Amino acid sequence: MQAVNYYIIVDKIKEKPKSKSGFVMTELQNTDIRYLKGKVISVGDQVVGVKEEDVVWYNKNAGHSIEFDDKLLYVIKNGDVVIIE
């Protein structure tokens, strides 16, 4: 699978549940998190600054999901990336 143009395909990295005042919060309950973390699978030919295998943080409302080879991946735009680790 190859991304095109300004698109990036990422595999979301599951974060461990966080606790707040002693209560463990699941991913769905933790609504104050604005960004998600993912490993870059493929980058489009017009993407600058991001390469395959990078770990990036991106807006949680960005893009859409796609199932490929029985794996759920996410397609986001280059502008949705806020941090490259």
Give average pLDDT by consecutive 10-residue segment, the chain, 85 residues: 95 75 57 85 96 95 93 96 95
Q: Is residue 2 assigned to a domain? A: no
Q: Are 75 and 7 in contact (CB under 8 A)?
A: yes
Q: Is residue 68 assigned to a domain? A: yes
Model pLDDT, residue 30: 52
Which residue segment(s) compose the domain that 36 sits in? 7-84
Number of structural domains (the chain) is 1
Model pLDDT, residue 22: 62
Which of 59, 42, 40 is closest to 4 using CA atoms?
42
Which of 40, 14, 10 is closest to 27 using CA atoms?
14
Burial class (CB in 10 A: 0-12, 13-18, 19+), 64: exposed
Model pLDDT, residue 85: 93
Model pLDDT, residue 55: 97
3-state secondary structure of 79: helix
Q: Is residue 76 assigned to a domain? A: yes
Q: Is residue 1 assigned to a domain? A: no
Model pLDDT, residue 33: 75
